[in-house]
Each structure stands twice: as structure tokens, then as C-alpha cells.
Amino acid sequence: MMEMTPPSDQVNGSVTHRRVEVKNEEPSQRVRNGSRSTEPEVHPVWNNIHLLVVCTLLSALLILFLEGCRPPSESWTVFGPARVPLWDWGALQIVMAFTVLQGVLYYLPFGKVVEGKMGHDGTRIKYSINGMYALAVTALPLLGLWCGGMFQASMVSGRVPQLVFAGTLISLVFATYLYLSSLHTDPTRLVHYGEGGNFLQEFALGRITDPSVGRIDLKLFFMGRIGFIGWALVDLCYLLTEIERQGVPNLSLLLIVTFQLYYILDFFIDEVSVLPTKEYTEDGIGFIMILGEYIWIPFFTSGPVYFMLQRPAQLSLLTVIPICCIYIFGLLVYHLSNMQKNGFRKNPNDPAFAHLETIHSPTGRNLLVSGWFGWVRHPNYLGDILMNLGWSLPCGFSSPLAYLPFLHCCNLLRRRANDNESACLERHGTAWQEYCQRVPNQLVPGVY
């Protein structure tokens, strides 16, 4: 599913995704040569051709990937001789019902309401942190209906391309609504793209930084509730479909689902950690982000599970053990490095960090150069990559398709690491250069 500055204030980097680039300044302020500027930040733009390709072909590429997961002996459904239509009222109803349900569950009187960034009206934005309850209220009744014979998971797993198409249409509707709303919004709430801004950039990347409908913050709604709860439900339906077919789940598929569901639960346990991220504090929300939450997170990230559903393979116990070790090691690296970073950032004088070496930065902050951040410069990213690898390995090596989500994660975190380091160099100058000399590897010790 959320990393800026050096080890002392890097943020959690998450696959898919969510915990990315935390800024310590308010979004309307930037640091320039030691002084703080209140000029609105000009956001980077995408290449127009690249952006147009993503907007128009992302759904088709995802469907092509899902079709490729089918056994070589079976013909494709959408792009094959059968030519099964993508339009399906049942799929559209599923996506719409899921969207409405998550909107209703956002108002659950459970969890807590926390304050996030400073809004443009001078008050802090409030977020309902009840995603764990929303997940439970969504998944448990679904399991109850399935156990009672009133729901068949194959109704979902058997129309995945149609669900992708329906999610694309719903994303287009929401993106259009947000763009039209932005035309009548206070300019101080809009993202500035400078000279590179145009309709395509603003529609695809978003214009409004803090959109809401009633009490529902749309960023938290799409990025947490639609994306991650949708991912959990898709995984669950794949697992139940396997049980419907075989009576017992395939060990490989069960292992992947277990790893991914733990990852999702961990996200909701620490849901508040996404609020200071760049995506929440600075970026707009447009078609690309909404589309990613409706189709990319639920259906591409769960690709290894879908692959196992289509091409079952058995794992021996001797194979399961090293795979579990890789996943657990990645989990430990991810959590322990973040604990060290967050603890040092909150209280550098804590005796628990007295043994760690630091480099003094011109900003007045110290950069960790030992502990986890003396091993590689982005150990939290490394942990994320290892967890992704852990839930890809059960697929075996019969096809590279099962590893495309893992490779996408590696490339995403590599790019984030590079962006992170450019910002760190600008902020910390020679201190960051010294840190890079002391810790030469970004992600993989002795390799990269």
C-alpha cells in the first residue's frame, strides 16, 4: 500500500505502497538555504505521453497480466477466442456495493479520530482511524455468508477482468467529480504544477490536496479503505475459491495469502503512520491514484495468489521453511529499523541509542550511521522487498509473471530511495555526502 531525510527521519517505505516520504514541514512551506519559504511548492509533472499511456492502458495491461496467469493449456477469456465481454453488471454492482459499504463504515463509532496536517482553513484535518474495524465488519460477514452457503467466492474470482473494468469506470467517475469540484475550490487548496501544468496533468495527478465528502477524507478512503481492504477481500475470495474447488487450500496459496493478510493487518494496526506522508500532506488526488486503489493494489499485488489459483503447485516442508525465514527476516528488518529510526527521531538522547554513531547535520539534527542505518541507507525498504519476495517464492519458477509484482515493488522502492536521497542531499549537504561514504549501499549490503 506510505522516508524523506536521512536515517534519523526517514519514513516507512511500503510496497505498494503506502508509507512514503514524510515531510517535517507543513506542505505549504519549504526550506531554502536554511530559511523557510511560504511560497507554494511547484509539484513535478509527468511526461505527457507517459501519463497518457498510463491513463489509457493501465487497465488493459493489468487484464493482460491476469490472462497470462492462466495455464498455458487453457485459452484466454478476454483476449482469447472466447472473447468474454468486459462489461458485466454483476461486477459493477460488486464494486459499487463495496464502495458504498466502505463509505458507510467510515462513520463507524469505533477507533479514534486523530489530527493530521494543517488544513488551508487554519485548522488541522481530522481523520477517522477505524480501518481495522472496517476490515473486520467487511470480511467477517462475508466469511459467515460463505460458511452458510449464501455466497460463493467464485462469483468474484471468476470475473476478475470484469471487476478490473468496473473499477476503472468507477475511478473515472470519481476523478471527474474531483476535477470538476476543483474548478470551484479555493486556489490555496490546489496543487501547483507550474508551467508544465495542463488538463491531463491536473486530471490524472489531481488538483485538490485535501478533498472530502462529509466527514470522509477521500485520500484515506481511497488509499486505505478501497485499496487495502479491497486487496484483503480479493485474497480471501481467492482462498475460498480454492477451498470450493479442492476442499482444502493449496499450501502455496495458503502461505501467500497468510503473508499478505498479515501485511494488510499490520498496515491497519499502524494506520495513523500514513498521515504525515507526502501523499497525504502535499500531493493531489486524481485519476491515477484512484485507479491504483481500485485495480492495481487489489488485483496486481495479489497477482501471486491469482497465479497459484490458476496454476496450483505443491510445496514441500523443506521449501516452506526457507521461504518463511525470508519473509520473517524481512518483517524484522522492516519493523526494527523503523523502531530505531522513530525512537531516535523522538528522543536522540534516549540511552537506548547512546551507542549509535551519528553525523551532525547543518540542519541541527544528527544522522545515524550505525545500527540498522549503518548497514544500508534504507533498511526499511530492504525489509519490504524481502517480504514481497517471501510471498512470491511459493509460486515457483515456472513463469516470470508471478514475480512481476515483486519486480515492480523493487523498482518502486529504488526510485523512492533515489528521490529520498536527492532531498536529503539538498537538506543536509556535506553531512549526507559523508553518510553515503560511510554507508555506500542503498538497499542490498555489498550489492546495491
Task: List the domain boundaries for the chain.
Answer: 1-21+316-448, 42-314
Half-sphere exposure of 211 (CA within 13 A, CB side): 27
CA atoms within 13 A on the CB side of 115: 5
Q: Flag whether pLDDT at 192 surpasses 90.
A: no
Report, as an integer, the average pLDDT of 405-419. Answer: 94
Task: With a cut of 90, say whether residue 393 has pLDDT above it.
Answer: yes
Which residues does residue 367 pair with via DSSP β-bridges, in sequence order? Answer: 359
Residues 14-35: pLDDT tens digits? 344 444 443 333 334 444 444 4
For the cut 50, the answer to whether the pLDDT of residue 6 exceeds it is no
Do 129 and 271 form a contact (C-beta atoms < 8 A)?
yes
Taking the C-alpha atoms of residue 67 and residue 268, their distance in angstroms, rounded to an integer, is 31
In angstroms, the Cα distances linking 208 to 40, 103, 179, 280, 283 are 13, 20, 8, 11, 8
Mean pLDDT on 368-383: 93
Q: What does the alpha-carbon distance between residue 355 and residue 311 come to, in Å, rounded to a whole number?
A: 51
Write down the mean pLDDT value for the chain. Answer: 87
Q: From 369, 345, 363, 348, select the one nearest 439 (Cα to Cα).
A: 369
Q: Which three cell numbers stand for residue 325?
A: 525465514
Name the fold adopted by 1-21+316-448: Four Helix Bundle (Hemerythrin (Met), subunit A) (1.20.120)
The model's pLDDT over 263-291, given as tens digits with 9 standing for 90+, comes to: 999 999 989 888 888 788 888 899 999 99
Q: Grid cell 551519528 — which residue?
A: 358
pLDDT exceeding 70 applies to what percent of the chain?
91
**Of 374, 378, 383, nearest to 435 (Cα)?**
374
